[in-house]
Structures are given as C-alpha cells and as structure tokens.
C-alpha cells in the first residue's frame, strides 16, 4: 500500500516551525487539537450539495446533523436568526454576499486596501473590484476611519452596498453611524468581521449585528476554528431593496444568500471542515473563550504600550482589538526588510502598507502585529514586553547576522515555556 513519507515529514517540519517561533501574524491562530481531529475525518468523503434536509444526493442524514449543529451553535454565539456555514473561506463568503446583493457594474463603498481594507472590498486585482464598481473611503491622518468621507461619498454616489470591516485596522467601528447614512440612501450595510469576530463573540467590541444587515467572517482568525468562512443575519428581513434571485423572484435575504453560496458560487460543502467549525463553535460557547478574548485585548494593549515606550509610531496611537499597525519610517527600515529580518529570527509577522504610504505594497513602510496566536499559546502581558524587546533588538540590528542568529536561539528557548500540541 502506498505510504507517503514526503508529505508527512513536511507536515512535521511545519509543526516544528510553529512550535519554535513567535507567531504575530494578526490573522493567524492555533486551533485546538479537537478542531484539527474533526478536520481529518470521514465527512471529507461525502458529497452534500444543498442544505440540511434539502440535499441533491442520498446518504446525507449524518452530515445534515453535523451541519445543523454547526449552524445552531453559530446562531447562539452571535444571537442570530440565520447562518450559512458552507463558505470555504472569507473571500468565498464575501463573493456570495456580492452575488446576492449586487449586479455587475453596480456601485459599492468599502475601506481602501491601502488604508487597512481587504482585497474583497474592492481591490482592482480582485473579483470585487473587477466585477462591480468599487468606491472607497479611507482613514484620517490620525488613522481613524474617516466617517465624514464615508458619509459624503455615500450621499454623492448612492452605492447599493456599504462594507465595513478591515484587515489592518486597530480600532472599533461605529456601525450605527454607517447604518444611519445607509438608511438615508437605501443601501445595504455589510460587515466583514473576519478579524475581530472572536472579540465580538465575547462581547468585547461593538456589536455589528444590531446595525448591519449582513455579517460575514472567517472562522480561523480570532474565532480560533478551522480555515473557512461564514455568513450570518441577526434579523432575516423582507427584502426592501427588491433583490431578486437568478429566476427573477423576490426572496428574503437569507434565501438569496443561501442561493448565492450554493449553487451560486460553490458546489459541494466541505463537511469535514464544517464538523471542525462545529467543534470550534462549541469551544467559543464556553467560558474559557471569553477569558481568551479578554487576554487578547490585554496583551495587545500591553504590546502597544511597550512599542510606544521604545519610540515606535503606532497608527491611531494604540489599539482596541487584537492588532496594531506600526509605521517604521522613523526607524529607518521598510516593512519588507523588517518582515524578512524578523523571519530569520523566527518571529513571524507581515509587512503592511500604512495609511498614506509612500512605498509600494511590495515594500511598505509598516508592519502589522497581532496577538491572537501568542495568546493561545499562553502568553500574558509580561511576555509582551519580552517579545517587543526581541523585535526591537532585531530591527535595530538588521545587518548583524550573528546577533539575529542568537535571537533565533533565544526565541526557541523562550517558546519552550508555551508548549504547542505536546500530544503530537
Ligand atoms: N489574509 C488575511 C489577513 O492576513 O488579514 C485577510 O484575508
């Protein structure tokens, strides 16, 4: 029987990389072993186009129960009336929202990618910017969402949809204000909470569901589940915008979104991943998860303070959530060089454009730093000081290969205090 050693050796190598490094990519996390176990199971063998109770193939009675459990748990987490757990990723979830709400060429308004937004919020390189007419708002020079600009553009251009949410924004959102202007012009408000979802689930940030018509997220960032996407509605509503399905029938928002996921943009759902989502949602409903969310925010604030204490320039001067964006221009190092040099010391983060950046997206003036993953590994405020010291040492000595090698060894020793998957 064929037995693969090449792939499993590489997977083990990746495990060691994760164990020995400090993971600060704001969109990454470590799932529980239970979540991973669920992913490697037999529902991967099953085709189940459709939804629980309404499938195209036979033999779906068990995956129906799995998917329904995931839906029910997710609805409980966010106090929703409807949820779809099938999107393969956050980008797929967002593609389905566009498909349900917009016709090609129609206008929508989202945060500019260069100001912290996401590719699927209208980047010219993405389906959202290629298929629809993307308009953008930005942030002020203080680094806060420019709500006045958003309102002015909304009133002038009358987009069909306004997207709130970001990939590199460290402050909370004023969803109520966005909804108010959307109501003036009759627009749909769509919140992409992929980054802060876990903090929202724990009640630690403003609740988008009160004001936004549609909410999407990934499941693998602060929600600490498997890689995937979800779409939710708190209130399924009659469809005041007169949105129609592909056959021209008026439908409720939930049924338009279900149709947009399947058959609109996906085929068979990944039921093994949906099983893992259900496990993660069960974990989120526990009290432990709320303490995790609180520690994420406490750690992010401790880290922000430590960076500011060493003269780093934080966009918006701090953070409300799990991440911070740092402008490195006063430190004479680009985002690219910072990322590459820190990588050599096994400290992983990403270069990131800062608002009004004068460098290309491939170089950038900044870095994005997030704490969800290190918090999962058990780090507390005092550890944030240590991590910032290590980062500062590397960035201030970026050409000293010997020193960077010694930091790498220091990082490896430090991370032994925070075991990762000791069972594996
Ligand atoms: N790639 C994700 C991030 O890093 O924020 C967004 O999809």
| Average of per-residue pLDDT values in the chain | 97
Q: Is 252 a catalytic residue?
A: no
- State the distance between the two ends of the chain, measured CA to CA, in whole angstroms: 24
- Segment 355-367, tens digit of pLDDT: 999 999 999 999 9
Q: Is 147 a catalytic residue?
A: no
Q: Tell whether ligand 1 has an atom less than 6 A from the beta carbon of residue 31.
A: no
Which residue's CA lies nearest to atom 4 of ligand 1?
A: 27
- Segment 54-105, tens digit of pLDDT: 999 999 999 999 999 999 999 999 999 999 999 999 999 999 999 999 999 9
- Segment 106-155, tens digit of pLDDT: 999 999 999 999 999 999 999 999 999 999 999 999 999 999 999 999 99
Average pLDDT estimate for 22-28: 98
Which residue's CA lies nearest to atom 3 of ligand 1?
A: 27
pLDDT at 236: 80
Instruction: Using only the alpha carbons of the chain, give its radius of gyration.
Output: 22
Q: Is 169 a catalytic residue?
A: no
Of the candidates 281, 285, 327, 335, the one whose C-alpha atom is nearest the C-alpha of residue 308 is 327
- Segment 164-218, tens digit of pLDDT: 999 999 999 999 999 999 999 999 999 999 999 999 999 999 999 999 999 999 9
Domains recognised in the chain with CATH numbers: 34-284 (3.40.640.10), 290-415 (3.90.1150.10)
List C-alpha distances in Å: 1 to 7, 45, 68, 322, 378: 16, 20, 37, 47, 41
Q: Is 5 a catalytic residue?
A: no
Tokens of 255: 């049924």
pTM: 0.97
Q: Is 55 a catalytic residue?
A: no
Q: Is 341 a catalytic residue?
A: no
Mutating to test ligand 1, I would choose from 221, 366, 373 the residue with most ligand atoms within 8 A of its C-beta, which is 221
Q: Tell whether ligand 1 has an atom less than 6 A from the beta carbon of residue 208.
A: no
Q: Tell whether ligand 1 has an atom less than 6 A from the beta carbon of residue 126.
A: no
pLDDT at 237 over 80: no
pLDDT at 239: 85
Choice among 19, 47, 207, 385 that is catalytic? 47
**Cα(132) to centroid(ligand 1), Å:** 21
Q: Tell whether ligand 1 has an atom less than 6 A from the beta carbon of residue 352.
A: no
pLDDT at 1: 86
The pLDDT > 90 percentage for the chain reads 97
pLDDT at 335: 98
pLDDT at 238 over 90: no
Of the candidates 106, 105, 124, the one whose C-alpha atom is nearest the C-alpha of residue 114 is 124
Q: Tell whether ligand 1 has an atom less than 6 A from the beta carbon of residue 167.
A: yes
Contacts of 46 (CB under 8 A, 6+ apart): 59, 60, 63, 271
**Cα(195) to centroid(ligand 1), Å:** 8
Give the span between the Cα atoms of 274 and 93, in whole angstroms. Answer: 14
- Segment 269-286, tens digit of pLDDT: 999 999 999 999 999 999
Which region, left, alpha or beta, applies to residue 291 given φ > 0 means left and ψ of -120 to 50 means alpha? alpha
Contacts of 72 (CB under 8 A, 6+ apart): none
**Cα(77) to centroid(ligand 1), Å:** 23
Contacts of 187 (CB under 8 A, 6+ apart): 109, 154, 158, 159, 160, 161, 162, 181
- Segment 288-305, tens digit of pLDDT: 999 999 999 999 999 999
Ligand 1: atom nearest CA of 25 is 4
Q: Tell whether ligand 1 has an atom less than 6 A from the beta carbon of residue 90.
A: yes
Give the span between the Cα atoms of 422 and 424, in whole angstroms. Answer: 5
pLDDT at 229: 98
pLDDT at 307: 98
299 or 240, higher pLDDT: 299
Which residue's CA lies nearest to atom 5 of ligand 1?
A: 167
pLDDT at 403 over 90: yes
Choice among 31, 46, 153, 218 that is catalytic? 218
């Amino acid at each position: 029987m064929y037995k693969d050693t090449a792939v499993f050796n590489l997977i083990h190598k990746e495990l060691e990389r994760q164990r020995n490094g400090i993971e600060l990519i704001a969109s990454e996390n470590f799932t529980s072993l239970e979540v991973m176990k669920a992913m490697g199971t037999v529902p991967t063998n099953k085709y189940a186009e459709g939804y629980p109770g309404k499938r195209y193939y036979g033999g779906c009675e068990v995956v129906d129960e799995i998917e329904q459990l995931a839906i029910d748990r997710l609805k409980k987490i966010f106090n929703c009336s409807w949820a779809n757990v099938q999107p393969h990723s956050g980008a797929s979830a967002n593609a389905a929202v566009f498909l349900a709400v917009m016709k090609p060429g129609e206008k929508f308004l989202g945060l500019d990618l260069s100001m912290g937004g996401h590719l699927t919020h209208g980047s010219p390189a993405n389906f959202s910017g290629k298929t629809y007419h993307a308009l953008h708002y930005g942030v002020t020079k203080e680094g806060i969402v420019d709500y006045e600009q958003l309102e002015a553009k909304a009133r002038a251009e009358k987009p069909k949809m306004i997207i709130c949410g970001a990939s590199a924004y460290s402050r909370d959102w004023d969803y109520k204000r966005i909804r108010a202007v959307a109501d003036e012009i009759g627009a749909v408000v769509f919140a992409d909470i992929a980054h802060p979802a876990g903090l929202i689930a724990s009640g630690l940030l403003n609740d988008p569901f009160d004001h936004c018509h549609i909410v999407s997220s990934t499941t693998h960032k602060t929600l600490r589940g498997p890689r995937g996407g979800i779409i939710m509605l708190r209130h399924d509503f009659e469809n005041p915008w007169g949105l129609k399905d592909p056959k021209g029938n008026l439908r409720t928002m939930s049924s338009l979104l279900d149709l947009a996921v399947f058959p609109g943009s996906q085929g068979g759902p990944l039921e093994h991943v949906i099983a893992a989502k259900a496990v993660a949602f069960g974990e989120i409903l526990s009290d432990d998860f709320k303490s995790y969310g609180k520690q994420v925010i406490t750690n992010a604030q401790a880290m922000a303070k430590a960076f500011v204490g060493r003269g780093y320039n934080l966009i918006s001067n701090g953070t409300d959530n799990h991440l911070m964006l740092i402008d490195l221009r006063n430190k004479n190092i680009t985002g690219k060089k910072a990322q590459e040099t820190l990588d050599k010391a096994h400290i992983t983060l990403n270069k990131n454009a800062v608002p009004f950046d004068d460098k290309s997206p491939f170089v950038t003036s900044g870095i994005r730093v997030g704490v969800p993953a290190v918090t999962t590994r058990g780090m507390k405020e005092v550890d944030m000081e240590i991590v910032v010291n290590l980062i500062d040492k590397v960035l201030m000595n970026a050409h000293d290969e010997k020193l960077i090698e010694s930091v790498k060894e220091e990082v490896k020793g430090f991370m032994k205090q925070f075991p990762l998957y000791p069972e594996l």
